[in-house]
Amino acid sequence: MTQSIAIIGGGIVGSTAAYYLSEFNKNNDLDITVFDHGCGQATKAAAGIISPWLSKRRNKSWYELAKDGATLLNSIADKTNMPEDIYNQCGTIITRNNLEDITELYDLAIERSKDTETIGEIYKLTPDEIKRHIPIINSNLPGLLVTGGARIKGDKYTDHLLKIAKSNGVSVINKEISINENVNVVCDRKEMQFDKIILATGAWTKNVLSNLPLDVDIRPQKGQLIELSINDINLSHEDMPVLMPEGESDFIPLGNGRLIVGASHENDKDFDLNPDADVIDELLNSATSLLPSLSAENLIRVKIGTRAYTSDFSPFFGKIPGYEKILVGSGLGSSGLTTGPLVGKILAEMAIDNLSMDIEKYRKPIENYIKLVK
């Protein structure tokens, strides 16, 4: 008997879920449809750093999700022959103002390396050693290199996985949908019934569920980043690590004479996708603090997306209470590129009742974030 599954949202979670479901569909007993409107999607606007191991967040479930998400992402990249302009394990350099902080981070990295190989090698770096790794920057701070760190381009990641999914028979419909009171998908005023619905709509999750009596703890956060041309700078090599400098925006050399700086975090902008001049100026100032020869003339484009956050900054995923045919994953925040692939795989496995892992170590109760309104 064929099982019909709808995936609402084609970002980091939805595209990964589509990829895995298409891989699971060896007997052609799954009918999979992705609905991907895409407007404002955080993933499509994001270029980010995969390096969760030095986080000092005290949320243990988040760290487990991020740590294993980084490992899974590396595996997906390898298995799908993902090009380096999408995912590149180029290493991550973290700088701090003093050696004591670097020693503390080093000890943390060594401890956490005991239960993950993906972190790679860990090295303390002098300012001169950092400059040898990233010769374009001007910085006098010590740092730490984690060789397993990576950079990723969200839009190209989703395109890559959805292309594979489509080649395996998944349908993709680029239209906006809603879920009605009958728990059916409505697209172009046509009601469509599915056995399972995977809801991967990020900051729009509350909106999509608005026809159901649910209280959803989600708020949107605006993120802006800038892409700069560095073609006029004498590069000794292109394949540089990404940099997470203290007190400044992330610094992501992409190769091919391109540099990403960002991203910002604005909590009071709702779903606004217009660039803010003051934020762009701050990002440019952050870039020029490390690379003084840059100016506004190097600006190629601004990319803007909307992240999803919960009130305690924790992601959530699982079956929606009272509506167990709907599986949801949201609230990933600024770590979505790291945690999203694992959430997508989990939801894909849950949709076919074939979980391969202990998911409770990754999450708090979903009822903390989605409740039935009585």
- Domain ranges across the chain: 3-44+155-219+312-372, 84-151+221-307
CATH 3.30.460.20 fits 84-151+221-307, yes or no: no
At 107-134, the pLDDT tens digits run 999 999 999 999 999 999 999 999 999 9
At 223-232, the pLDDT tens digits run 999 999 987 6
At 55-64, the pLDDT tens digits run 887 789 999 9
Provide the edge-to-edge strand list for the sheet that holds 316-320: 171-173, 30-35, 3-8, 196-199, 323-330, 316-320
At 262-303, the pLDDT tens digits run 889 998 888 889 999 999 999 999 999 888 988 899 999 999
At 58-104, the pLDDT tens digits run 789 999 999 999 999 999 999 999 999 999 999 999 999 999 999 99
Distance CA 46, CA 87 (A): 13
Distance CA 146, CA 124 (A): 9
Question: Would you state the torsion angle of the CA atoms of residues 76, 319, 55, 118, taken in this order, to the nearest 10 degrees?
Answer: -20
CATH 3.20.20.210 fits 3-44+155-219+312-372, yes or no: no
pTM: 0.94
Q: Is 223:265 a contact under the CB 8 Å cutoff?
A: yes
At 14-58, the pLDDT tens digits run 999 999 999 999 888 999 999 998 765 666 667 789 999 998 877
* pLDDT for position 268: 80
* 235 vs 181, more confident: 181
User: Long-range CB contacts (< 8 A, 24+ apart) of 51-55?
Assistant: 51/92, 51/94, 51/146, 51/148, 51/149, 51/150, 51/242, 51/244, 52/335, 52/338, 53/108, 53/109, 53/112, 53/113, 53/116, 53/119, 53/146, 53/148, 54/94, 54/105, 54/108, 54/109, 54/144, 54/146
Token pair, residue 64, equals 């487990």
* pLDDT for position 226: 95
